[in-house]
Structure 1
Amino acid sequence: MLWESILIALEGLKANKLRSLLTMLGIIIGVSAVITMVSLGLGMQQKVQSSIASLGSSLLVITPGAAQAPGSVRMASGSNITLTNQDAKAIAREIGGIRYIAPSVADSYQVVFGNQNWKTKVQGTTGEFLAVRSYKIAAGKFFASGDESTRARVAVLGQTVAANLFGSASPVGKTIRIAQAPFRVIGVLASKGQSSMGQDQDDIVLVPLTTAQERLLGITYLHNISVQVESDKVLDKAQAAITTLLRTRHRLPAGAEDDFTVRNLAALMSTMQETTGNITAFLGGIAAISLVVGGIGIMNIMLVSVTERTREIGIRKALGATFANILMQFLIEAVVISVSGGLTGILLGVAGAKVVSGFAGWNAVISWGAIMAAFGVSVSIGLFFGLYPARKAALLDPIEALRYE
């Protein structure tokens, strides 16, 4: 009887092709919208995670606090000049569990080679920068401690800077000018792409820290200190120890506000994951509303079908069809509509996610969990919204049904 009911349901759908297609449309749109939105949301979540991870694992970033201008006006965060090279050395010497530490300064400069020029960020740092920030060398080498002690005019270029100044030619060994001062290119960084905020991580020039401080910026303080600890297990402990050490070194009295900030990127990643997860759930929820609309469409068309086929139902009951037989027939018709719409919606949803990803340049992660959930909900909606019309059909009095015109 089950197979016979399925065949009868398919015959009924074939007899009213346009009506069946329009009924499926709500389910198709709902399933495809859920899959597309969830895929794009998961892609955004993955991009944020990989971007934060690319900054370095188990990382703490120390920045100065806000400077206090005359008249008690607070300046922007990071505008203070409280961090020094001695602070970085003290952290490396006195705090346990630290693997690498990279103090740095940075500013924007016009970088020139021949008749080509490019405005970019020039960052002064130490040899541990590569390990801390997970960069790799694609060509040449990175500067050594000897270059830092002698304030050598050497530079390592990011891929974006190298491409704009040198095209396809190798920049290693060439001389560029930064703030009219000549710098010899000794290496090129491997590409890292964009960060989660859309910043080009390859648009950078690295020079020794002492060179940047004394030959370019003319300062003795630091803009930030990046600290990589041995594992995530000691991250919070290291953060607390660094805070205590810097407060002591800066002679801050009890109750006074810190003149620096220690940021934990693991906590930042957790927050971003929660935020993007909520956005993904919200997008999926909005798209799922169309599934409910599709279910109402199924109920509507099944009620019409019951009315149209009242005499048929009466004849079947007169010939011995039971309550369960009639109920099963109409339930199967509703489920066939929802299953057909769900399968079509899956194909359109996956294709839609890939098309949007390709045209908009967004990441899209096709989730089998989202596909199965959307399909399961579509089938459940078919059952739920098909139950009332099916029960109504099964409860028809055969005598009254046969009299129906």
Structure 2
Amino acid sequence: GGGFGNQSPDFGALIPLRTAEQRVLGREEIDNISVRVAPDASMERAMVDIERVLRRQHKLVPGAANDFSIVDRREFLDTQQEAQQTFTMLLASIAGVSLIVGGIGIMNIMLVSVTERTREIGIRMALGATRFSIMLQFLVESVTLCFLGGALGILLGTVAARTLSRFAGWEVFVSPESVGLAAAFSIGVGLFFGIMPARRAARLDPIEALRYE
């Protein structure tokens, strides 16, 4: 079953109050009380009623400060959700920066490749290769590099997640959707950052390319 925070009802037991006081706790004081409010009831009204009952039980005079505290667990849940959203945004930002840096690296590699293979491009054009086929060739190479890098990243990430799950005791699940999304992003990065080198290769003058040393 589920529980609040890191507590799970699977690791607890419900026993009578008197039994707990006499045989487990050894005292009659109660540290905390958990109250479940009906779904159609007002939480604010319930907290006011609980405060009134506790003040009467503690025999507090009007105007005296409470010697107890009432906590709405929804505040903890909201704080936890905000922390998760912040952490998710942080991871997304890191992933975005990594994609941009990786894409720029791929683009630089392809630009260097175009420069080093200028004569090869000129020979292919002289033998009848079209500008589209030249551009397609470098686009395919760029996508292939990014896809291989993405596949390696998916493999390393899965291994790291499994290792962390084994040593930390956390339950980790790598969904097929996340793997497919990562692969799609890798292909998209290859296409986006491979366009400029591919277009530069396709626009080379065959005569100048053949003269390139």
TM interval, shorter chain, is 0.7 to 0.9
Structure 1 runs (4+) greater than 6 angstroms displaced:
none
Alpha-carbon distance, 1:335 to partner? 0.4
Q: Which amino acid aligns with 2:41?
A: V
Residue 208 of structure 1 corresponds to 20
Contact 1:54-1:134 within 8 A present in 2 as well: no
CA RMSD of aligned residues (A): 3.3
Alpha-carbon distance, 1:279 to partner? 2.0
2: distance between equivalents of 1:318 and 1:277? 56
Task: Note if 1:336 corresponds to 2:130.
Answer: no
2: distance between equivalents of 1:144 and 1:360? 35
Contact 1:314-1:398 within 8 A present in 2 as well: yes
Match of 1:239 among 47, 62, 65: 47
Contact 1:330-1:386 within 8 A present in 2 as well: yes
Match of 2:70 among 259, 262, 281: 262
Residue 154 of structure 1 corresponds to none
- Match of 1:225, SS state, is coil
Residue 4 of structure 2 corresponds to 52
Residue 383 of structure 1 corresponds to 191
Q: Which runs of 5+ in 1 are unaligned?
A: 1-48, 57-132, 149-206
Q: Which amino acid aligns with 2:99?
A: L
Q: Which amino acid aligns with 2:188?
A: S
1: distance between equivalents of 2:164 and 2:10? 31
- Match of 1:223, SS state, is coil
Residue 227 of structure 1 corresponds to 35
Alpha-carbon distance, 1:314 to partner? 1.7
1: distance between equivalents of 2:113 and 2:94? 30
Match of 1:276 among 84, 107, 123: 84
2: distance between equivalents of 1:332 and 1:338? 10
2: distance between equivalents of 1:399 and 1:224? 86
Q: Which has the higher contact order (CA 8 A, sep 6+)?
A: 1
From the two aligned structures, give the one with the greater strand fraction.
1
- Match of 2:35, SS state, is strand
Contact 1:252-1:258 within 8 A present in 2 as well: no
2: distance between equivalents of 1:223 and 1:144? 15
Match of 1:359 among 167, 179, 204: 167
Q: 1:263 to 1:290 in 2, by over 3 A?
A: same
Q: Which runs of 5+ in 2 are unaligned?
A: none
Q: 1:366 to 1:274 in 2, by over 3 A?
A: farther
Task: Note if 1:395 corresponds to 2:207.
Answer: no
Q: 1:308 to 1:248 in 2, by over 3 A?
A: same
Alpha-carbon distance, 1:311 to partner? 1.7
Quote the sequence identity (%). 44
Q: Which amino acid aligns with 1:208?
A: A
Alpha-carbon distance, 1:321 to partner? 3.0
Match of 1:346 among 154, 162, 173: 154
2: distance between equivalents of 1:283 and 1:330? 31
Alpha-carbon distance, 1:289 to partner? 3.5
Matches within 5 A, 1:83-162: 144=16, 148=18
2: distance between equivalents of 1:357 and 1:321? 52
Deviations 1:201-244 (A, max 9, x none): xxxxxx433x37xx944x6x54222212333x436242343235
Alpha-carbon distance, 1:143 to partner? 5.1
Q: Which amino acid aligns with 1:342?
A: G
Task: Note if 1:324 corresponds to 2:132.
Answer: yes
Task: Give me the TM-score of the superposition, normalised by structure 2.
Answer: 0.78
1: distance between equivalents of 2:207 and 2:129? 14
2: distance between equivalents of 1:314 and 1:321? 9
Q: Which amino acid aligns with 1:234?
A: A
Alpha-carbon distance, 1:350 to partner? 0.9
Q: 1:295 to 1:135 in 2, by over 3 A?
A: closer
2: distance between equivalents of 1:143 and 1:381? 59
Match of 1:294 among 95, 102, 121: 102
- Match of 2:4, SS state, is helix
Q: How many residues align?
A: 210
Residue 171 of structure 1 corresponds to none
